[in-house]
Structure 1
Amino acid sequence: MAVPGSSARFLEKAQTLESDQFFLDLEDSVAPLAKPGARPGVVEALNQGSWGNRIRVVRINDVSTEWAYRDVVTVVEGAGANLDCIMLPKVQSAAQVAWLDLLLTQIEKAVGLAVGRIGIEAQIEDAQGLANVYAIAAASRRLETIIFGPADFMASINMRSLVVGDQPPGYEADAYHHVLMSILVAARANGLQAIDGPYGRVKDDEGYRRAAQRSAALGFDGKWVLHPNQLPIANEVYAPTQADYDEAELIIEAYDFHTSEAGGRMGAVMLGDTMIDEAARKMALVVVAQGRAAGMTRTTKFERPEGAVRA
């Protein structure tokens, strides 16, 4: 959930929403003249807000600006104990991530925070960032997430669309497939989350759903929400269907049984009309983890074949 850093009304509303994470924004949603004055409000919101178990993130300004270093110093010195991650926008190189890592280490040492506890989320928002995404994803042990920022990216490649995150008219295929897959592979190769960015038409629920389904199908972990109306759609789309969750639980149980002594120590067996093996089990584990994280309960149970020995 994105929250403008200087808006008390949005800050109050955000604390009531069932999102996994929120971020307080000091970048695009704050006007240049208002940026210095927004920092104390972010510190206060982190220290006094009721955020529950949600991940607490602040998006600073990008490293090419005069505001970035002061954003980090003010926020971490003032509220580092109540902060989980710094989001770095418009990342173009691994060196920019290394800069933030070093600055965080210096501040943590200076104020007595555990070194390395505060993570980094990196936004890929232009052609140069995408070209360097594999190096960026490996740039720091603090990195937790790689995020696609569609608006700036669309501008950087001259994409002919004015709707953030939507398909450009006249192009029949998915204009974002290469971008999303590159970010996803770079993230997974380094054990990171991959998050899709915003969809600009906040009242177009079906447009948001289409955009979310695109990245969810590839394997992204979630998508930004700009408006409360988008939140239930995101929670639905990025959780597995009940049928897929049930099947995944069955695959794991069936595989565990058939590879056991009682099940015949078989490495590949049939579950209905589907062959399952170790690779199928790994795929099922992903779906099961997503379903359990979403609080789903199964509606089916694996039945051992007749005559099987029970341990």
Structure 2
Amino acid sequence: MTAIDKRTHDRKFVRTFFTTPTAVEGEDDSAKMLKSAAGLRGMKAPDVWVPDNEDATAPNMREEGARNIIDVVSEHGAEFPGEIHPRVVWHRDSPSTRYQGFQRMLEITDPDNGAVEHLDGFVIPEVGDIDDWKKADEFFTIIEHEHGLEEGSLKMSVIVESGASELAMGKLRDEMGKPTNNLQRMFLLVDGEVDYTKDMRAITPTGGLPEWAELRHNTSRAASANGLIAVDGPYDDIRDVEGYHERMTDNRSKGMLGIWSLTPGQVVEANKAPLPPREGYWLLDADGREVELDHEDGVEVYEGDRVSIEATADGYVLSVGNDELAVDEAELEDELLDLLDYVPSLDDIVDSMEEFEAAKEAGRGAIAMTQSATVAIDGVEVDVSRDRMWDEATYQALQTPITLFQDVYGNRPDQHDDLADLYGENVLERAMDVGN
């Protein structure tokens, strides 16, 4: 039996969770947004597409929305490059709402309608405690039995939108694998911070959403403990690209590589953000602000005013914000190293992994990897270098970006040309071979 904390689905990672209204009121073709989303390809196409027959669709349009899902997915689903997981209505406190969701899932998955062969599962919102998750799972099992589908073939993803569902994540590991349920079908754990904020009765001075860092951590932890995938909720300021990137960067440090995308533009940003950069670059902590240095003729140049270096008769004066420090040349290098970090490119990561693999084959269990650069601040050039020990644990920990890349390349053939343009064919081939 597969260990419960091992990934059991073909996808190891999901970068993008893109929702689309299933029926738009007042349009000649109420399914026009579904049809548009079904035609997305390459970096504009999400890893998981969610025809949204819940919040994104008006209640009086949901019956028509369910029929639109059937029509669009049956016609275009075979060519869509990502997974397809419609969201249906559900609520932990409303049996009638749960029944509506069940009836629509039953209709959408009817083999006579032609859509189910292109569907991967369903997204269940507003779940409550673990018993509520098991109710949803039982409906999935009934649907599979009713339509002659393989038991467990429909994946179930949930949106964590309440304190009860957050606590339920802590019980999932004890429930999965029991003969009384099919919770092994679980796929995504998705945060829904808006409804979560309402459920928690939280208030902020501006009326904006709290960060809910603990929720994102708990969701990522539950995904790790149960072999699932964690996805953050929507970032609704769709013009704030920098803020979207900051949120994704913070999420990745928690192990949450996926995020909800509200527009094709956000899909592009979220598809690219977790991938290693084309070129490595140095970052400088400039008095609390991270600044990317400019690479000019082999030198990493800082041109801001938060950090300065002045040569003196006895050495140098290093200024960071309002702090000044008199140092000699060796001390200057040490101080700068404390302020510098290097972001490796895909090529850098592959180089390091290949070097360690070669060392391991030669019988060495650990090697030192050196990073070096010449940094220029106020015209003063300083050579810096640091050694990092690589052993098997380091190798395994730093394999995640490569595993992500390999998962994307293996599951998204429509993005091969984009990746080749970004990295070059030689780097792609080496990245697909390393670590295997």
Fold conserved between structures, TM > 0.5: yes
The residue that corresponds to 1:290 in the other structure is: 404
Contact 1:56/1:82 (8 A) holds in 2: yes
The residue that corresponds to 1:155 in the other structure is: 198
The TM-score with structure 2 as length reference comes to 0.62
Q: Does 1:53 align with 2:86?
A: no
The residue that corresponds to 2:104 in the other structure is: 71
Displacement of 1:167? 5.4
Give the structure with the larger strand fraction: 2
Partner SS state of residue 198, structure 1:
coil
Q: Does 1:271 align with 2:369?
A: yes
Displacement of 1:199? 1.0
Match of 1:24 among 15, 34, 51: 51
The residue that corresponds to 1:248 in the other structure is: 349
Partner SS state of residue 61, structure 1:
coil
**Per-residue deviation, residues 38-95 of structure 1 (Å, max 9, x unmatched):** 2111111211125422101111111432522212211222432221011011222222
Give 1:130-141 correspondences, 5 Å limit.
130-136=166-172, 139=176, 140-141=183-184
Partner SS state of residue 188, structure 1:
helix
Match of 1:197 among 218, 226, 233: 233
**Distance in 2 (alpha carbons) for counterparts of 1:277 and 1:112:** 50
Partner SS state of residue 398, structure 2:
helix
Contact 1:194/1:220 (8 A) holds in 2: yes
Letter aligned with residue 14 of structure 1: A
Displacement of 1:192? 0.8
Letter aligned with residue 15 of structure 1: A
**Distance in 2 (alpha carbons) for counterparts of 1:91 and 1:240:** 35
**Distance in 2 (alpha carbons) for counterparts of 1:178 and 1:161:** 16
**Distance in 2 (alpha carbons) for counterparts of 1:163 and 1:259:** 55
Give 1:91-102 correspondences, 5 Å limit.
91-102=127-138
**Distance in 2 (alpha carbons) for counterparts of 1:2 and 1:191:** 24
Q: 1:160 to 1:86 in 2, by over 3 A?
A: same
Contact 1:93/1:135 (8 A) holds in 2: no
Letter aligned with residue 37 of structure 2: A
Partner SS state of residue 261, structure 2:
coil
Q: 1:258 to 1:228 in 2, by over 3 A?
A: same
Displacement of 1:161? 5.0
Displacement of 1:113? 1.8
Partner SS state of residue 199, structure 1:
coil
Q: Does 1:3 align with 2:20?
A: yes
The residue that corresponds to 1:104 in the other structure is: 140
Q: Does 1:145 align with 2:246?
A: no
**Per-residue deviation, residues 137-178 of structure 1 (Å, max 9, x unmatched):** 6541000111111111121223335999x654xxxxxx3221
Contact 1:205/1:229 (8 A) holds in 2: no
Displacement of 1:105? 2.0
Letter aligned with residue 28 of structure 1: D
**Per-residue deviation, residues 227-247 of structure 1 (Å, max 9, x unmatched):** 122122112222223333333
The TM-score with structure 1 as length reference comes to 0.85
The residue that corresponds to 1:37 in the other structure is: 64
Contact 1:251/1:276 (8 A) holds in 2: no
Partner SS state of residue 92, structure 1:
coil
Higher relative contact order (CA 8 A, sep 6+): 2
The residue that corresponds to 1:116 in the other structure is: 152
Give ranges in structure 1 of 5+ residues lacking alignment: 169-174, 302-311
| Rg comparison, structure with higher value | 2
Query: How much is the aligned-residue C-alpha RMSD, in angstroms?
Result: 2.5
**Distance in 1 (alpha carbons) for counterparts of 2:75 and 2:402:** 36
Q: 1:49 to 1:56 in 2, by over 3 A?
A: same
Is the deviation greater in 16-25 or in 152-161? 152-161
**Distance in 2 (alpha carbons) for counterparts of 1:247 and 1:291:** 14
The residue that corresponds to 1:304 in the other structure is: none
**Distance in 2 (alpha carbons) for counterparts of 1:162 and 1:75:** 43
Is the deviation greater in 52-61 or in 74-83? 74-83
